[in-house]
Amino acid sequence: MSLLLIILIVLLLAGGGFGYSRYGVGGGTGIVGTILIIILILYLLGALRVA
């Protein structure tokens, strides 16, 4: 579980900038897309409980 947290932190800190620098402001996933992907993965793994 701690490995997953480390990977998520690295993605949050470094993963968002790749889309903007390569494809411009509107391209790539950016930080918002990265956060949405992480939330989706956590939801699918059952880490987030939605009533």
Has residue 23 been placed in a domain? Answer: yes
pLDDT for 51 equals 60
pLDDT for 14 equals 62
How far is it, in rounded angstroms, from Cα 10 to Cα 31?
12
The tens digit of pLDDT for each residue in 11-37 reads 666 655 555 555 555 555 667 777 777
Has residue 12 been placed in a domain? Answer: yes
Has residue 50 been placed in a domain? Answer: no
pLDDT for 26 equals 53
CB atoms within 10 A of CB 29: 16
Has residue 27 been placed in a domain? Answer: yes
3 — pLDDT class (breaks 50, 70, 90): confident
Query: What is the domain count for the chain?
Result: 1
Crossing angle of helices 16-23 and 30-45, in 10° steps, is 140
How far is it, in rounded angstroms, from Cα 32 to Cα 14?
12
pLDDT for 18 equals 52
42 — pLDDT class (breaks 50, 70, 90): confident
Domain of residue 29: give its range: 2-45
Has residue 37 been placed in a domain? Answer: yes
